[in-house]
């Protein structure tokens, strides 16, 4: 592969992987079974990124394992209605076309595990989206490092990844014990918990594998919210949660303990609330992308209602298609809320369009401010919906 016998794209891919492996001291390359590529929005890629993808496609690159994409910068089928410019849409379409030529499945979602890209326990994979990496490592027990866009593509085109980091047993052991002494419920609270723990990991420069005790139950939706937040605020790619995640039982509790009380969660939530409710001009649910159960719940809340502010629901295309069939889409769209599929409120090019975002996602709050300069209002899922029903001045 490195000598170019299998084409230019494979040679380039192998150069990327061997360089990474050398930097991180990997002794070998290992086969992987699944890839998820981030850096799909033209807003992030720009011309240089697009040119790289086209070069790889022209060089004969073909995905050798199941490979899916992170959200793009627009709803591929409905971009006009969401205010995306034709120039941007044209560039984004070329990005997706290049991926398609490489046999990458152009399902654009940060929750690939809900849309057919679901590895099993112990499987080696190469995923890039930070929330999905944290979910796959922790909740599923698959093994992946947090890949960049080029290294994930390189793994797709070769079916290999260097064996270092979270692929190895020794790096999956917890080093910090976290005792949760609060009742945690709902996606927002799990997001706040991820922020509290994540910021400790950053502050202490600890190897960020935490062993969390005291959480009695956690739904899939709560775990995806927590994974996204822990990855955002702590750069973490793996955690263990006693009684909930599969590898927790393999480890003993590390000595060093962090205790988290209700007040810590409240403080974390307040830190994400600098927008007054009447200032909010943009509402979004679906960071990470909504599951079908969340969409069903949303349809219940919006039945017969009318939303008063710009309200985006972000999810994966396959999930939306089931929502269509179940009748949820009709109820939700009748309220005036809009589906924004294949994309999200962070990767879409909406800087300058809004001033303040309301959401249940701690991760979305971070990027709404960091990327777009929006103020944020952070609250539970149902409260976000209630706010959408109130006029902006009310």
Residues that bind ligand F3S (CB under 6 A): 70-71, 110, 131, 228, 287-289, 314, 344, 346-347, 363-364, 367
Question: Most distant CA pair in the chain: distance in Å?
Answer: 66
Minimum CB separation of residue 345 from ligand F3S in Å reads: 7
CA distance 357 to 66: 35
Minimum CB separation of residue 228 from ligand F3S in Å reads: 5
CB burial of 214-227 (b: ≥16 within 10 Å; e: otherwise) equals bbeebeebbbbbbb
**Based on CB atoms, which residue is closest to ligand F3S, 225 or 335?**
225
Minimum CB separation of residue 65 from ligand F3S in Å reads: 21
**Based on CB atoms, which residue is closest to ligand F3S, 124 or 224?**
224
Minimum CB separation of residue 284 from ligand F3S in Å reads: 9
**Based on CB atoms, which residue is closest to ligand F3S, 164 or 226?**
226
**Based on CB atoms, which residue is closest to ligand F3S, 250 or 370?**
370
Cα–Cα nearest to 26, from 128, 134, 151: 151
Q: Residue 304 phi/psi, 5° resolution? A: 75, 10
Identify whether 288 is preceded by a cis peptide bond (ω within 30 of 0).
Answer: yes
Minimum CB separation of residue 70 from ligand F3S in Å reads: 6
Minimum CB separation of residue 129 from ligand F3S in Å reads: 6
Q: Is 382 helix (H, G, I), strand (E, B) or coil?
A: helix
**Based on CB atoms, which residue is closest to ligand F3S, 13 or 70?**
70
**Based on CB atoms, which residue is closest to ligand F3S, 21 or 149?**
149
Which residues pair with residue 204 across a beta bridge? none
CA distances from 116 to 34, 68, 120 (A): 11, 9, 12
Contact 60, 10 (CB under 8 A): yes
Q: Is 22 helix (H, G, I), strand (E, B) or coil?
A: helix
């Amino acid at each position: 592969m490195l000598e170019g016998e299998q084409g230019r794209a494979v040679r380039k891919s192998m150069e990327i992987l061997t360089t990474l492996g050398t930097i991180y001291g990997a002794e070998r390359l290992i086969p992987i079974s699944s890839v998820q590529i981030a850096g799909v929005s033209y807003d992030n890629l720009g011309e240089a990124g697009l040119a790289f993808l086209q070069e790889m496609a022209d060089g004969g690159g073909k995905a050798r394992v199941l490979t899916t994409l992170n959200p793009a910068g627009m709803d591929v089928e409905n971009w006009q209605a969401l205010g995306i410019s034709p120039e941007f849409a044209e560039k984004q379409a070329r990005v997706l076309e290049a991926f398609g030529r490489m046999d990458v499945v152009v399902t654009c979602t940060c929750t690939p595990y809900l849309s057919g890209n679901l590895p099993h326990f112990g499987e080696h994979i190469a995923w890039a989206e930070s929330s999905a990496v944290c979910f796959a490592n922790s909740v599923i027990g698959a093994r992946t490092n947090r890949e960049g866009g080029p290294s994930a593509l390189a793994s797709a085109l070769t079916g290999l990844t260097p064996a270092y980091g979270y692929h190895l047993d020794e790096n999956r052991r917890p080093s910090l014990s976290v005792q949760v002494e609060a009742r945690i419920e709902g996606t927002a609270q799990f997001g706040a918990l991820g922020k509290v723990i994540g910021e400790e990991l950053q502050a202490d420069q600890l190897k960020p594998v935490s062993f969390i005790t005291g959480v009695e139950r956690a739904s899939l939706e709560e775990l995806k919210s927590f994974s996204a937040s822990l990855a955002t605020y702590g750069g973490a790619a793996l955690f263990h949660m006693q009684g909930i995640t599969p590898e927790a039982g393999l480890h003993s509790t590390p000595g060093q303990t962090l205790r988290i009380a209700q007040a810590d969660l409240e403080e974390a939530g307040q830190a994400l609330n600098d927008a007054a409710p009447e200032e909010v001009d943009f509402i979004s649910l679906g960071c990470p992308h909504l599951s079908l159960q969340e969409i069903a719940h949303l349809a219940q809340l919006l039945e017969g209602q009318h939303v008063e502010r710009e309200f985006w629901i972000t999810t994966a295309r396959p999930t939306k298609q089931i929502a269509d069939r179940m009748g949820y889409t009709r109820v939700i769209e009748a309220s005036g809320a809009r589906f924004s599929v294949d994309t999200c409120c962070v990767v879409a090019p909406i800087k300058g369009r809004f001033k303040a975002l309301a959401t249940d996602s701690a991760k979305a709050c971070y990027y709404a401010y960091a990327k777009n300069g929006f103020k944020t209002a952070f609250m539970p899922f149902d409260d976000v919906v209630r706010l959408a029903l109130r006029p902006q001045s009310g």
